[in-house]
Chain A
Amino acid sequence: MNWLKNIYNRITLELRYRKKLKELRKRDPFIYK
């Protein structure tokens, strides 16, 4: 069952990272300018 735990942990880590990055992007009003 360890492999399942690992996948779960990786997915939650990735989701947390994407959420933080999304929040950080909102602070930059000049992106793509």
Chain B
Amino acid sequence: MTTVLAGGDSFVWGSELKDSPHGGGNGYSRQTFPALLADKYICAAYPGIGNKDISIRIRDALEYKTPDIVIVCWTWPSRDNMLDSDHYIRSTQAHLAYLGIPYMFTCADNCIVTGKLDYDNWFFFPEGTGFDQTTTPRGFYQWAVENKYLVGPDGHPLEQAHIDASILMQGKFNELVKEHL
């Protein structure tokens, strides 16, 4: 039984997925990529938030929950009016290391990557090969949109993108969970 605590924005909340009825209490989806990797799932994500709030919500959840692994999908740093989010990511990494909880980080868009952090526990989606695709390792949103997965009316990748993302992430996830056991 692997308990996953997930942090992020609307992608991790599961906005526009069929089983996410609303943005209110308990309205998150269980069909997102972190939920599909979990046996037991705790969602600390919320639509529209920035990396500062993602970091805070993870810390708050860890006050009363002890998951086997934490998965975070970092969002665009511009939501916090910043050019990068290294400070929030580094402090979350340090907090998780202090608690001895393994983590797997990923991102919506690879603009979050500055090269100044330890990326060993990150999962990036494979780079694109088409002329109009990102040729560096991608974030979930870039990967889903560039691979033409179906999106909802507001633009969020739908169920199939999450299923395929969880399949791609499974190897790294197993490796990190096993390492910790």
Binding site for B on A (CB under 8 A): 17, 20-21, 24-25, 27-33
If over half of A's interface residues share one DSSP class (helix, strand or loop), that class is named, otherwise mixed; here it is: loop
In the bound complex, CA of A25 to CA of B79 (Å): 8
Residues of B56-109 at the interface with A, using a CB-CB cut-off of 8 Å, are 75-79, 81-83, 109
Contacts of A27 on B, CB cut-off 8 Å? 76, 78, 109, 111
Binding site for A on B (CB under 8 A): 9-10, 15, 47-48, 75-79, 81-83, 109, 111, 154-156
Contacts of B79 on A, CB cut-off 8 Å? 28, 31
**Nearest B-chain residue to A32, judged by Cβ:** B48
**Nearest A-chain residue to B10, judged by Cβ:** A30
If over half of B's interface residues share one DSSP class (helix, strand or loop), that class is named, otherwise mixed; here it is: loop
**Nearest B-chain residue to A31, judged by Cβ:** B79
Contact B47 A21 (CB under 8 A): no
Contact A33 B154 (CB under 8 A): yes
Contact B81 A21 (CB under 8 A): yes
A24 touches which of B15, B47, B83 (Cβ 8 Å): B83
Contacts of B48 on A, CB cut-off 8 Å? 30-33
Contact B155 A30 (CB under 8 A): yes
In the bound complex, CA of A25 to CA of B76 (Å): 8
Contact B111 A24 (CB under 8 A): yes
In the bound complex, CA of A27 to CA of B141 (Å): 11
Contact A21 B78 (CB under 8 A): yes
In the bound complex, CA of A21 to CA of B15 (Å): 26
Contacts of B81 on A, CB cut-off 8 Å? 21
Contacts of B15 on A, CB cut-off 8 Å? 33
Chain A min CB distance to B109 (Å): 6
